[in-house]
């Protein structure tokens, strides 16, 4: 009877919704030097629906103002009752340092997503080459974990570049998975090897020779790449120079937020267009929106707070409900079609075409 009731309860669970639910921290686990994995569950009885390799945006309650930070999910949707992000804290980190110092089990935070196109589910291939550097390993780990659970015979060559053996994230788990995935080949490239009796990886930065050594058939593989921009540029340039079919190359990056265009500058550039009015219903403010100005820019100028992270239509953090009026929205995948059908828009990349009402 107990098992039957438990199964009935699971059948009645609904997917997690970033509009209705918070994330509750379950654990904080060290992974490598300045790297932690934070695992979350829903604050209600929900399960998580996403694609391996997608990301979420966390609203972190730093002082004096909260900050938005976007992180790839390192967990796999084949284990749907929790999600995890694996983050590396840099010296100048604000949000990530706050997580390291303050985020403890039991704490609840707001999150947006999951979103993103960087997934082998969206770009399937017969065999894969995952190339990563540093914390860029996280989406590769999510996809590998998913295939380990659902398709353990998948053909994957997994190359990761790190500064030292101690900096390799998920090394032990990858070596464990390789025991049960006969077509998972691991290749680690490190800048400094340290004691050679403890490490047998390749030394130095990634280049054509090392990729050719670790993945001799790389020209036949579907390639996913993630890491610092300079790293991905080097991989992409090498593949292009070698004549690789770039339709089978996919990379993940989060571009810096675009600076808001000053009001006067927008007005000068679009002087032939008429200004529109935005009604922010929750704030109770009517705001003039200059021609060419985004709803997010108008909100900031009026002191109306709308959360935003990437400001390029990618992360979905600035999603708001449009109650009336028309806008022109040019997004980069940060909003779903069914959300648009419901009336949601992204404030960072939406410009009014008429007077509008926004729920903010």
For residues 197 and 85, the model is more confident at 85
- Angle of helix 137-150 relative to helix 171-180, nearest 10 degrees, comes to 30
101 and 19, same domain (yes or no): yes
Please state, rounded to an integer, the average pLDDT across all residues of the chain.
86
Question: Domain containing 240: what range?
Answer: 128-252
What span, in angstroms and rounded, lies between the C-alpha atoms of 168 and 200?
Answer: 13
pLDDT at 262 over 80: no
Asked if residue 351 and residue 305 are part of one domain, the reply reads yes
269 confidence band (pLDDT: 50, 70, 90): very low
Domain end call among 209, 230, 252? 252
Highest mean pLDDT among 146-150, 164-168, 208-212: 146-150
Residue 57 domain-assigned? yes
131-132-133 Cα angle (round to 5)? 145
CB atoms < 10 A from the CB of 270, how many? 15
Same domain, 294 and 315: yes
User: What pLDDT shows up at residue 265?
Assistant: 40
Residue 180, number of CB atoms within 10 A of its CB: 9
Q: 163-183: per-residue pLDDT in tens? A: 888 899 999 999 999 999 999
CATH of the domain at 59: 2.40.30.10
Handedness of CA 215, 217, 221, 223 (dihedral sign): positive
pLDDT tens readout for residues 64-73: 888 889 999 9
Give the model's pLDDT for residue 254. Answer: 56
120 falls within a domain: no
Is the domain of 84 the same as that of 143? no
- The pLDDT value recorded for residue 319 is 86
Q: What are the residues whose beta carbons fall under 8 Å from the beta carbon of 86, sequence distance 6 or more?
A: 31, 35, 36, 37, 38, 71, 72, 74, 135, 138, 141, 169, 170
284 and 205 in one domain?
A: no
The pLDDT of residue 253 = 67
Query: Do residue 181 and residue 103 come from a single domain?
Result: no
Residue of higher predicted confidence among 325 and 198: 325
Rounded to whole angstroms, the Cα distance separating 70 from 58 reads: 6
The residue ranking higher by pLDDT, 156 or 264, is 156
224 in Cβ contact with 159 (< 8 Å): no
| Mean pLDDT within 298-316 | 82
In a domain, 230, yes or no: yes
Which of 156 and 275 is assigned the larger pLDDT? 156
Query: Average pLDDT of 301-314?
Result: 81
Of residues 263 and 95, which shows the higher confidence score? 95
Same domain (yes/no): 155, 226: yes
Q: How many domains in the chain? A: 3
233 and 139 housed in the same domain? yes
Q: Are residues 72 and 152 in the same domain?
A: no
Q: Which of 47-61, 139-153, 238-252, 301-315 has the lowest mean pLDDT?
A: 301-315
Average pLDDT over residues 120-131: 96
**Is 9 a residue whose pLDDT tops 70?**
no
Residue at which a domain ends, from 230, 252, 274? 252
Least confident of 46-50, 84-88, 185-189, 262-266: 262-266
337 part of a folded domain = yes
Q: Are residues 163 and 93 in the same domain?
A: no
Picking from 252, 280, 303, the residue at the C-terminal end of a domain is: 252
Examine residue 122 and state whether it is found in any structural domain, yes or no: no
The verdict on 148 and 229 lying in the same domain is: yes
- Give the per-residue pLDDT at 205: 66
Q: Is residue 280 part of a domain?
A: yes
DSSP state of 73: B
Residue 192 pLDDT greater than 70, yes or no: no
Instruction: Kindly state the percentage of the chain with pLDDT values over 70.
Output: 87
The confidence band for 195, taking pLDDT boundaries of 50, 70 and 90, is very low
For residue 194, list its beta bridge partners: none
In a domain, 87, yes or no: yes
More confident residue, 260 or 30: 30
Whether the per-residue pLDDT at 293 is higher than 80: the answer is yes
Q: Kindly write down the DSSP assignment for every residue of 96-137, as one continuous string.
A: HHHHHHH--TT-EEEEEEEE-S-STTTS--SSEEEEEEGGGH
CATH of the domain at 215: 3.40.50.80
Mean pLDDT computed over 204-226: 88
CATH number at residue 354: 3.10.20.30
Residue 110, pLDDT > 90, answer yes
Look up residue 321 and give its DSSP letter: E
The pair of structure tokens assigned to 154 is 């998948």
Residues 169 and 240 in one domain: yes
Burial class (CB in 10 A: 0-12, 13-18, 19+), 300: middle
- Domain annotation covers residue 317: yes
């Amino acid at each position: 009877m107990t098992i039957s009731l438990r199964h009935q309860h699971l059948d009645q669970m609904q997917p997690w919704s970033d509009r209705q639910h918070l994330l509750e921290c379950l654990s904080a686990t060290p992974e490598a030097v300045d790297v932690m994995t934070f695992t979350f569950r829903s604050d209600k009885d929900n399960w998580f629906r996403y694609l391996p390799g997608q990301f979420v945006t966390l609203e972190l309650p730093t002082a004096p103002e909260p900050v938005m930070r976007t992180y790839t999910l390192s967990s796999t949707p084949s284990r749907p009752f929790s999600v995890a992000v694996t983050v590396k804290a840099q010296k100048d980190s604000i949000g990530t340092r706050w997580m390291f110092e303050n985020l403890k089990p039991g704490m609840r935070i707001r999150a947006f997503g999951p979103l993103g196109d960087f997934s082998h589910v969206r770009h399937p291939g017969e065999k894969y080459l995952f190339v990563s550097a540093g914390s860029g390993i996280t989406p590769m780990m999510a996809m590998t974990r998913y295939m380990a659970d659902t398709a353990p015979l998948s053909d994957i060559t997994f190359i990761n570049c790190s500064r030292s053996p101690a900096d390799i994230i998920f090394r032990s788990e990858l070596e464990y998975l390789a025991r049960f995935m006969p077509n998972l080949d691991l290749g680690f490239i490190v800048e400094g090897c340290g004691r050679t009796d403890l490490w047998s990886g390749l030394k130095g930065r990634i280049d054509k020779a090392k990729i050719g050594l670790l993945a001799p058939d790389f020209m036949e593989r579907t390639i996913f790449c993630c890491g610092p921009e300079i790293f991905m540029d080097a991989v992409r340039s090498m593949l292009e120079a070698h004549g690789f079919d770039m339709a089978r190359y996919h990379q993940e990056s989060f571009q810096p937020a675009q600076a808001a265009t000053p009001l006067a500058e927008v007005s000068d550039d679009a002087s032939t267009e008429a200004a529109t009015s935005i009604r922010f219903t929750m704030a109770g403010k009517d705001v003039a929106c200059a021609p060419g100005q985004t709803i997010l820019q108008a909100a900031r100028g009026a002191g109306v707070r709308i959360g935003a992270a990437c400001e390029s239509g990618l992360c979905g953090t600035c999603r708001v409900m449009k109650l009336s009026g028309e806008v022109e929205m040019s997004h980069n995948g940060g909003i779903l079609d069914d959300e648009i059908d419901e009336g949601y828009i992204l404030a960072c990349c939406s410009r009014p075409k008429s007077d509008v009402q926004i729920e903010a």
